[in-house]
């Protein structure tokens, strides 16, 4: 007789959002930033952050159980993983992406059922008429800094592995379209001493890219260009990159963009596509399937299999297409123009 399955998996999924929200809340309240200065008691921390002295210890104890904080005497300190990824001043911080997840994604995901019923993103429903993704994230300097900080922290995890997934030695000039803070272009120039790179993005983004470019050891081979890759001419390059761009858009918009890139490339030039790749049978990876749902509530796009990307790229004219799973959150596709 078969034993009935235990409920552990279901219970884990029921509680999963609670763990996320506890971390999100501790980041947004400034807990990890404050504790990075020095360990503090809950009472002292509540006073410093203007929080309720009886409620805060409950959040702190939960963060200890989550492995984000450690106890020190009768106080608390950051665990090493929190010091690296949850403190806003850390060079590897993911705090910006956490704030973005809490302020935007958490709200959009609360309407996932409506997105599945209607097949459209939830911007109008959740944000009262805002249906332009990047207009919302770039609505003011604070929002722009938070969003780009999140993209930078998340991007850094993958960029160095993506850039080394293929041998790019023979390319001379990379144009990273929608390059945000420049993490991919910076990683490329630091990995390939003969490569120059341009970070192309919208005007509100460029000051943030310039700050990160200036800190790179390859700063003299990096430039920033204000541009809309849909509307403006593309800078000359023999290698273009699109990092987490194609998954934002519909097939029609992608077709236009890929045709534009193909036309701008010289013979032998290439396009580097950086995205999460779904398995061909859509059985995984889990992170890519969750990101696919994220695209449903956030954008007009989706995550794709390699064969789906190959079809789009071949339709644009590319003939030699290779893919590499990097082991990082993002994978790499290189498409070469004959």
| CATH code of the domain containing 48 | 1.10.10.10
Which of 102-116, 135-149, 223-237, 307-321 comes out lowest in average pLDDT?
135-149
| pLDDT over 70 percentage in the chain | 97
Specify the number of domains making up the chain: 2
168 has pLDDT over 80? yes
Q: Which one of 85, 116, 144 terminates a domain?
A: 85
Q: Please, which residues bridge with residue 243 across strands?
A: 274
Tell me the pLDDT of the chain averaged across its residues.
94
> What's the confidence (pLDDT) of residue 132?
60
In a domain, residue 198? The reply is: yes
The CATH code of the domain that includes 257 is 3.40.50.150
Identified catalytic residue from 152, 183, 212, 247: 247
Show which of 85, 119, 134 is a domain's final residue: 85
Residues 266 and 180 both lie in one domain: yes
183 and 292, same domain (yes or no): yes
Residue 115 is assigned to a structural domain of this protein: no
Query: Which of 64, 85, 106 corresponds to the end of one domain?
Result: 85
In a domain, 141, yes or no: no
* Assigned domain for 105 exists: no
Is residue 102, in this structure, part of any structural domain at all?
A: no
Structural domain range at position 70: 8-85
Q: Is residue 131 predicted with pLDDT exceeding 70?
A: no
Is 50 one of the annotated active-site residues of the chain?
A: no
């Amino acid at each position: 007789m078969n034993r009935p399955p235990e409920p552990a998996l279901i219970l884990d999924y029921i509680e999963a959002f609670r763990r996320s929200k506890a971390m999100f809340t501790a980041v947004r309240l400034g807990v990890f930033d404050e504790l990075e200065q020095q360990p503090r008691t809950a009472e002292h921390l509540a006073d410093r952050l203007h929080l309720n002295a009886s409620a805060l210890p409950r959040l702190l104890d939960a963060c200890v159980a989550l492995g984000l904080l450690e106890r020190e005497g009768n106080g608390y300190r950051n665990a090493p993983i929190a010091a690296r990824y949850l403190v806003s001043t850390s060079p590897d911080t993911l705090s910006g992406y956490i704030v973005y997840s809490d302020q935007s994604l958490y709200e959009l995901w609360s309407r996932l059922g409506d997105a599945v019923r209607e097949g459209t993103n939830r911007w109008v429903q959740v944000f009262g008429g805002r249906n332009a993704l990047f207009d919302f994230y770039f609505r003011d300097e604070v929002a722009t800094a938070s969003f780009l900080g999140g993209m930078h922290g998340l991007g850094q995890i993958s960029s160095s592995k993506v850039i080394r997934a293929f041998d790019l030695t023979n390319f001379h000039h990379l144009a990273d379209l929608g390059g945000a803070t420049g993490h991919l272009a910076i990683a490329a120039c630091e990995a390939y001493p003969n490569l120059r790179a341009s970070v192309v993005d919208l005007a509100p983004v460029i000051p943030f890219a310039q700050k990160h470019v200036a800190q790179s050891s390859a700063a003299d081979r990096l430039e920033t260009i204000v541009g809309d890759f849909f509307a403006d001419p593309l800078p000359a390059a023999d290698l273009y990159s699109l990092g987490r761009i194609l998954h934002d858009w519909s097939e029609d918009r992608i077709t236009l963009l890929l045709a534009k890139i193909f036309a701008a490339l010289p013979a032998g030039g290439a396009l580097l596509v950086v995205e999460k790749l779904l398995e061909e049978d859509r059985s995984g990876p889990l992170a890519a399937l969750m990101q696919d749902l994220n695209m449903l509530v956030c954008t007009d796009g989706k995550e794709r299999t390699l064969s789906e990307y190959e079809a789009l790229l071949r339709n644009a004219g590319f003939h030699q297409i290779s893919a590499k799973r990097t082991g990082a959150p993002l994978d790499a596709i290189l498409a070469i123009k004959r």
